[in-house]
Amino acid sequence: MHRSRPRGRYSEGESEVIMEFLFNSLLELITQTSTNLPPDARAAMAKAVQSETPGTQSAQALNVIASNIDMAYDDEGPICQDTGMPTFLIRCPVGLNQIEFSQAIREAVVEATRRGKLRPNSVDSITGKNSGNNLGPGTPVIHFEQWEQDNIEVKLILKGGGCENKNIQYSVPCELDHLGRANRDLEGVKKCILHAVWQAQGLGCSPGALGVCVGGDRANGYTQAKYQLLRTLDDVNPDPALAKLEDEIMAEANELGVGAMGFGGQVTLIGCKITAANRLPACFFVSVAYDCWAFRRLGLLLDAQSGAIKQWLYRDPERPVARMTEGEGFPLTGREVVLEAPLTEEKVRALKVGDVVLINGPMVTGRDAMHSYMLKHDPPVDLNGAVLYHCGPVMLQEDGEWKVKAAGPTTSIREEPYEHEVIKRYGVRVVIGKGGMGPKTLAALEKHGAVYLNAIGGAAQYYARTVRKVTGVSLLEEMGVPEAMWQYDVKGFVAIVTMDAHGNSLHADILETTGEKLEELKPA
């Protein structure tokens, strides 16, 4: 590890001590990044809570998010169950042994996964098999750069799949929905960025933050866009033209009305950070990395001699962690509809878009692999009247019993090709997820008598606490932890009806109204 001595010059004992320090430092970085939102993201989310109109669905969602941030910190549990692709960016002195350093990162990742700070998230793209420990080709992502300093800087981003799926790259000139033609100038860039926010709706767990790269080639454009997420949300771009563009995007995107979770509201974006890279004469890309409110990014300065932590980055040691809420939990109004599962058709047909529900009783999880399975085989448990939750939880076995460590919703639209058939064949009455579903599911809800509920994306700690007991699990060995069908007994699971059994969809309505707003914002 020592930067000035070649590998192998340490005594065995010396080397072991250094690697132990380094391992502990990296494990602490992963744990803190997953469980404790950085101060700039906390401040941005606190402002969002203050800015939202009280009593609206977006305000309710932000309250749940605020509670969830506190709960994650209190229990050192993952803020969101999707702990993302661990992405490490390292600046190191010349001579650092990058092979040993990478090995220490991998060991820390495995241990963090074993402790439930990271969800097993590394899936073989050919076989579909989850490695179970977050190691595999391309996982974790590790980038090294050299610098003329004696210490080692390590930054970590944990960015989940829901927001990763909403990243977008534009090749301008291009035609954009509601905005028309985007040309190769800053006006065109601005159109692309506003379009990126609009197309994300609530699917990336808004309010979100953008990293943007103007120019570059396709691969580096995306890389540089992601690196912009390393800037603090409240900094000012040193380039006046880009600083102005960032301010304009923040103001105009927050006029769109997407709101928290896409429920409609005042706060759609908590940050926009833009850089520019030179491009080929023939190319002009605008690359946008969309990150969710669960903006998990921290860093360390390490002693290159010992691997010990010298300083935390993005944190002020003088300032304690600011709590997001006074109390705990979701402020109930008394107007919530209590649903006791399993449910009858009559009960769910009585629900309408906008109702807030509290679910008690049995609930099963199921996401991509399970939906695909259910089209070829009967489900592992009876789904008649069931509540089906799109969720890939973090689970740990303690004293021989399964415990839920994090259990927020996943993006539902991925199940759009399957869900109508699952509802029809098996009699599911309630589907829960985030971001809403499409026309096939909406038609099936109406025809067969079922509803779609939007839970609050990323509120993994909040929802984990609603599980009274894990009553079973199916296909764990075959599918891995996130994709298996977990059976829970829940109490007070809160969600909002966003697609009802009468053909109404809040998601379709918000897409339309925000599209109209986008047209109004179009430069003349």
Q: Which residues contribute to the site for ligand SF4 (CB under 6 A)?
A: 80, 82, 84, 160-163, 204-205, 292, 294, 408, 457-458
Q: Which two tokens stand for residue 438?
A: 């499409």
In the complex with ligand SF4, which residue's Cβ is closer, 284 or 295? 295
**Rounded least distance, CB 165 to ligand SF4, Å:** 8
- How deeply is 318 buried, as exposed, middle or buried, from its count of CB atoms within 10 A (0-12, 13-18, 19+)? exposed
Query: Between residues 84 and 259, which has the closer beta carbon with respect to ligand SF4?
Result: 84
Question: Looking at 295-380, which runs of residues are DSSP E strands?
Answer: 296-302, 309-313, 337-340, 356-365
- Which two three-digit tokens encode residue 453? 């509920």
- 80 versus 339: smaller Cβ distance to ligand SF4: 80
Q: Which C-beta is closer to ligand SF4: that of 190 or that of 296? A: 296
Nearer to ligand SF4, 160 or 480 (CB): 160
As measured in angstroms, the least distance from the Cβ of 518 to ligand SF4 is 22
Residue closest to ligand SF4 when measured from CB atoms: 160
- Residue 316 CA to residue 311 CA, distance in Å, equals 10
Residue 77 or 204 having the CB closest to ligand SF4: 204
By beta-carbon proximity to ligand SF4, the closer residue of 166 and 273 is 166
Handedness of CA 63, 64, 68, 69 (dihedral sign): negative
Cβ at position 430, least distance to ligand SF4 in Å: 20
Tell the smallest beta-carbon distance from residue 459 to ligand SF4 (Å). 8
185's CB contacts (< 8 A; 6+ apart) are none
Whether residue 157 contacts residue 87, with contact meaning beta carbons closer than 8 Å, is answered with: yes
- Residue 156 β-bridge partners: 88, 298
- Which residue type does 155 have? K
* Rounded Cα–Cα distance for residues 158 and 119 (Å): 11
Smallest separation (angstroms) from ligand SF4 to the CB of 126:
24
Smallest distance, ligand SF4 to C-beta of residue 181, A: 31
Question: Which residue type, as a one-letter code, is found at position 135?
Answer: L
Amino acid at 328: E
Separation CA 345–CA 37 (nearest Å): 41
CB nearer to ligand SF4: pick between 205 and 270: 205
Burial class (CB in 10 A: 0-12, 13-18, 19+), 11: exposed
Nearest residue to 152 via CA among 190, 223, 96, 192: 96
Q: CB of 158: closest distance to ligand SF4 in angstroms?
A: 8
- Minimum gap (Å) between residue 307 Cβ and ligand SF4: 29
- DSSP-derived letter for residue 282 is T
**152/233 with CB nearer ligand SF4:** 233
Least distance (Å) between residue 400 CB and ligand SF4: 29
Alpha-carbon distance 99 to 95, whole Å? Answer: 11
